[in-house]
Structure 1
Amino acid sequence: MGVAASYLRGLLPRPAATTAPATVVRRDGVRIDAAHLLRYARVCGFTLTGPLPPSYPHLLGFAPALELMARRDFPFRLPGLVHTRQVLTWYRPVEVDEVLEVEVSAANLAAHHRGATIDVLTRVRAGADEVWLGRSTYLSRAVHLSSTVDSLEVPEVEPLPADTWWRLPAGLGRRYAAVSGDRNPIHLSALSARVFGFHGAIAHGMWSAARCLATLGGRLPERGEATVTFRRPVRLPGRVGFGARIGTAATFTLVDAADRLLLAGRVTPLG
Structure 2
Amino acid sequence: MIRDYHPLSILPRVLLKRNAAFVFQSALLPRCELSTEQLITGCSEKRISRFHQAVAWQGEGIHPCFLHTLAFRQHLQLMLQPAFPFAVLGLVHKANKIAQFAALSSAPEGLLSSQVCSFKRHDRGISFVISSRFECNNDLVWRSESEFIAIDKLTMSAIKATPINLSADPAKHSQHQNWQLNADLGRQYAAASGDFNPIHLSALSAKLFGFKRAIAHGMWTKARCLSALSQHSASAFRCEVEFKRPLFLPNQVTFSNYIVDEHSLALWVTSDDHQQLHLQGRLVF
- TM-score where L is the length of structure 2: 0.84
- C-alpha contact (below 8 Å) 1:30/1:101 kept by paired residues: no
- The CA distance in 2 between the partners of 1:137 and 1:62, in whole Å, is 13
Q: Return 217-226 or 246-255, whichever deviates more.
A: 217-226
Aligned partner of 1:178 in structure 2 is: 191
Aligned partner of 2:277 in structure 1 is: 261
- For the structure 1 residues 228 and 157, does the alpha-carbon distance in structure 2 shift closer, same or farther, using more than 3 Å as the test? farther
- C-alpha contact (below 8 Å) 1:115/1:141 kept by paired residues: yes
- The CA distance in 1 between the partners of 2:165 and 2:235, in whole Å, is 28
Q: What is the SS of the residue equivalent to 2:180?
A: strand
- For the structure 1 residues 118 and 90, does the alpha-carbon distance in structure 2 shift closer, same or farther, using more than 3 Å as the test? same
Aligned partner of 1:240 in structure 2 is: 253
- The CA distance in 2 between the partners of 1:27 and 1:45, in whole Å, is 28
- The CA distance in 2 between the partners of 1:97 and 1:257, in whole Å, is 36
Aligned partner of 1:39 in structure 2 is: 50
- C-alpha contact (below 8 Å) 2:60/2:234 kept by paired residues: no
Matched, 1:53 2:63: yes
| Distance apart, 1:157 and its partner CA | 7.7
* Residues 8-19 of structure 1: pairs in structure 2 closer than 5 A: 8-10=12-14, 11-15=16-20, 16=23, 18-19=29-30
Aligned partner of 1:151 in structure 2 is: none
Match of 2:205 among 192, 204, 226: 192
- C-alpha contact (below 8 Å) 1:87/1:226 kept by paired residues: yes
Aligned partner of 2:81 in structure 1 is: 71
- The CA distance in 2 between the partners of 1:27 and 1:144, in whole Å, is 38
- For the structure 1 residues 131 and 241, does the alpha-carbon distance in structure 2 shift closer, same or farther, using more than 3 Å as the test? same
* Residues 37-186 of structure 1: pairs in structure 2 closer than 5 A: 37-50=48-61, 52-142=62-152, 159=166, 163-186=176-199
Aligned partner of 2:266 in structure 1 is: 251
- For the structure 1 residues 193 and 213, does the alpha-carbon distance in structure 2 shift closer, same or farther, using more than 3 Å as the test? same
- C-alpha contact (below 8 Å) 2:17/2:86 kept by paired residues: no
- The CA distance in 1 between the partners of 2:242 and 2:188, in whole Å, is 23
- For the structure 1 residues 5 and 98, does the alpha-carbon distance in structure 2 shift closer, same or farther, using more than 3 Å as the test? closer
- For the structure 1 residues 29 and 198, does the alpha-carbon distance in structure 2 shift closer, same or farther, using more than 3 Å as the test? closer
| Distance apart, 1:49 and its partner CA | 2.1
Which 5+ residue runs of structure 2 have no aligned equivalent?
156-162, 168-172
- C-alpha contact (below 8 Å) 1:173/1:203 kept by paired residues: yes
- The CA distance in 2 between the partners of 1:204 and 1:20, in whole Å, is 29
Q: What is the SS of the residue equivalent to 1:186?
A: helix
- The CA distance in 1 between the partners of 2:107 and 2:187, in whole Å, is 28
| Distance apart, 1:5 and its partner CA | 4.6
Q: What is the SS of the residue equivalent to 1:163?
A: strand
- The CA distance in 2 between the partners of 1:27 and 1:134, in whole Å, is 16
| Distance apart, 1:139 and its partner CA | 0.8
- The CA distance in 2 between the partners of 1:112 and 1:5, in whole Å, is 33
| Distance apart, 1:253 and its partner CA | 0.3
- The CA distance in 2 between the partners of 1:97 and 1:178, in whole Å, is 18
- The CA distance in 2 between the partners of 1:75 and 1:5, in whole Å, is 22
- The CA distance in 2 between the partners of 1:201 and 1:107, in whole Å, is 30
- C-alpha contact (below 8 Å) 2:60/2:105 kept by paired residues: no
- C-alpha contact (below 8 Å) 1:84/1:138 kept by paired residues: yes
Cα RMSD over matched residues?
A: 2.3
- For the structure 1 residues 97 and 113, does the alpha-carbon distance in structure 2 shift closer, same or farther, using more than 3 Å as the test? closer
- The CA distance in 1 between the partners of 2:80 and 2:153, in whole Å, is 16
| Distance apart, 1:163 and its partner CA | 2.0
- C-alpha contact (below 8 Å) 1:229/1:265 kept by paired residues: yes
Q: What is the SS of the residue equivalent to 1:74?
A: coil
- TM-score where L is the length of structure 1: 0.88
- The CA distance in 1 between the partners of 2:108 and 2:87, in whole Å, is 34
Q: Which residue type is aligned with residue 263 of structure 1?
A: L
- Identity among equivalent positions (%) equals 29
- C-alpha contact (below 8 Å) 1:30/1:102 kept by paired residues: no
Q: Which residue type is aligned with residue 121 of structure 1?
A: S
